């Protein structure tokens, strides 16, 4: 019981810290698309290395590649670019609050496609999430500037994309595919998806020179 709890707390801390790091990168003028590409690529390489050690050779058949790419685009490919751009426009705390909508939106979508049942607590959470969004975007409330309202509403596409990805993974992940392998394929596929945009808008950025 203790180990799963520690793992859950660790994931929560790391997940929340991501948006602070995004803000730091934006303030350091790191190009958003390049930042998204390199961060997800390095994560994918790290996960693939761990997967090779503990799970063996990756599964590369057509069905597996389709799963990697579809889950990669919906879970990270779109959202990571969106949040990289939003980091320069919104406080990190606001973006973290938006991401808290992901479980609620995942439940709503799962219920809509009938892979989950109606639960009063989840539905209540959905209503509270919507109320929280309204409190933030309505005049004279939480945003430091009214000019941020458009960016805030745009970032809601992030948890929507994650929700689509979560439901897709739940419905389509091959049962024989190990978890680390699925995550590695997801990250690397997201990097492939982002690569063309990075080559167009941020091709001159070198992360190794920037860090030196």
pLDDT digits (tens, 9 = 90+) for 116-169: 887 777 778 778 877 776 776 665 556 666 677 788 888 888 889 999 999 999
pLDDT digits (tens, 9 = 90+) for 37-68: 888 999 999 999 999 999 888 888 899 999 99
Closest CA to 126 of 140, 112, 138: 112
pLDDT digits (tens, 9 = 90+) for 170-186: 899 998 899 899 999 99
Cα(165)–Cα(134) distance, integer angstroms: 25
Cα(78)–Cα(94) distance, integer angstroms: 19
Cα(33)–Cα(38) distance, integer angstroms: 9
Burial class (CB in 10 A: 0-12, 13-18, 19+), 133: middle
pTM > 0.75: yes or no: yes
Cα(101)–Cα(133) distance, integer angstroms: 9
Cα(132)–Cα(152) distance, integer angstroms: 12
pLDDT, position 209: 66
């Amino acid at each position: 019981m203790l180990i799963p709890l520690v793992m859950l707390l660790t994931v929560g801390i790391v997940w929340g810290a991501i948006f602070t790091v995004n803000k730091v990168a934006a303030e350091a003028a790191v190009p958003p698309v390049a930042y998204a590409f390199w961060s997800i690529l390095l994560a994918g390489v790290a996960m693939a290395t761990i997967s090779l050690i503990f799970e063996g050779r990756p599964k590369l058949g057509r069905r597996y590649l389709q799963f990697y790419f579809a889950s990669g685009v919906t879970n990270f490919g779109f959202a990571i670019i969106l949040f990289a751009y939003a980091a320069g426009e919104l406080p990190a705390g606001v973006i973290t609050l938006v991401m808290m909508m992901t479980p609620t939106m995942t439940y709503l979508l799962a219920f809509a496609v009938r892979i989950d049942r109606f639960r009063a607590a989840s539905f209540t959470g959905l209503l509270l999430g919507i109320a929280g969004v309204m409190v933030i975007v309505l005049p004279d409330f939480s945003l430091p500037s009214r000019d941020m309202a458009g960016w805030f509403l745009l970032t809601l596409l992030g948890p929507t994309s994650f929700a689509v990805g979560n439901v897709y993974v739940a419905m389509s992940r091959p049962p024989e595919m190990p978890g680390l392998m699925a995550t590695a394929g997801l990250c690397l596929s997201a990097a492939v998806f982002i690569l063309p945009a990075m080559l167009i808008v941020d091709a001159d950025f070198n992360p190794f020179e920037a860090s030196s």
